[in-house]
Structures are given as C-alpha cells and as structure tokens.
C-alpha cells in the first residue's frame, strides 16, 4: 500500500504514540521511535502496535535492569505504563488525507526502518 494510494480519502488504521509531544522522542533532530504508522487493516495495526509496545517495554526494561538490578519485571512494567513515551494505540482513520498527524508518517517510516529490521509485514 503506497502513501499516495492512502491519501485518496480511503479509510485505514494507524498505530500512533499515545503522547505526541515530540521533544522526548528526539535525538539530534531525529525521532527515536515511530510516531504514526499506517496499516492496511485492523488486524495488521494490532500486530504492529503489539510489536512496538513489546519492543518499547523491553528496551526500557533492559536499561532499567542495568541501572537497578533489583527492579522486578512487574515494577518495570508499571513504570513503563506510567512514564514511557513510546506506547502505542490503534486508531481508525476514516480519511487519511484529513488526519491531523499525517505529516508524521514519513519520519516515522524512516525511524521504523532504521530501528526494526524485523518490522516487515507481508
């Protein structure tokens, strides 16, 4: 599915960050985690959301474990749910060309491609 074909007023699903503040998700002018990804259908969107949420949690957990070896998995998960910016939800979008966050898609694709070799869906 190409971006031009998505902009024909067709409905789609997006996987987006819960918080889109932009400042915590940047380093040297580039976004660290994808902010908005477009999916063909709801099932694919939920697969992408699960993948991103799992990757985000494990990334944070690995860092926290290194800094705080006594931190349990459950404690880390609660912290991640409360504090981490890289958390994702699925959103139905009736018309992508009118979606207010459409401008975030390009950078998000670059970020996803750089960050996740395994983010491939057929």
Whether 120 maps to a domain, the answer reads no
Whether 84 maps to a domain, the answer reads yes
pTM for the model stands at 0.82
Whether 90 maps to a domain, the answer reads yes
For residue 22, the model assigns a pLDDT of 62
Across 79-86, average pLDDT? 85
For residue 83, the model assigns a pLDDT of 83
Alpha carbons 77 and 28: distance in angstroms, whole number: 28
Whether 7 maps to a domain, the answer reads yes
25 pLDDT above the threshold of 90: no
Residue-range definition of the domain harbouring residue 107:
3-115
For residue 8, the model assigns a pLDDT of 59
What confidence tens digit (pLDDT) does each residue in 44-70 have? 999 999 999 999 999 899 999 999 999
Whether 122 maps to a domain, the answer reads no
Number of domains in the chain: 1
Whether 121 maps to a domain, the answer reads no
Whether 59 maps to a domain, the answer reads yes
């Amino acid at each position: 599915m190409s971006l031009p074909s998505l902009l024909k007023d067709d409905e789609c699903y997006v996987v987006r960050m819960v918080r889109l503040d932009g400042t915590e998700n940047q380093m040297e002018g580039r976004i660290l985690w994808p902010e908005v990804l477009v999916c063909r259908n709801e099932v694919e969107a939920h697969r992408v959301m699960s993948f991103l949420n799992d990757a985000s949690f494990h990334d944070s957990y690995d860092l926290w474990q290194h800094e705080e070896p006594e931190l349990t998995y459950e404690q880390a998960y609660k912290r991640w749910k409360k504090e981490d910016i890289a958390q994702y939800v699925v959103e139905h979008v009736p018309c992508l060309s009118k979606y207010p966050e459409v401008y975030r898609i390009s950078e998000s694709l670059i970020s996803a491609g750089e960050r996740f070799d395994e983010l491939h869906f057929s």
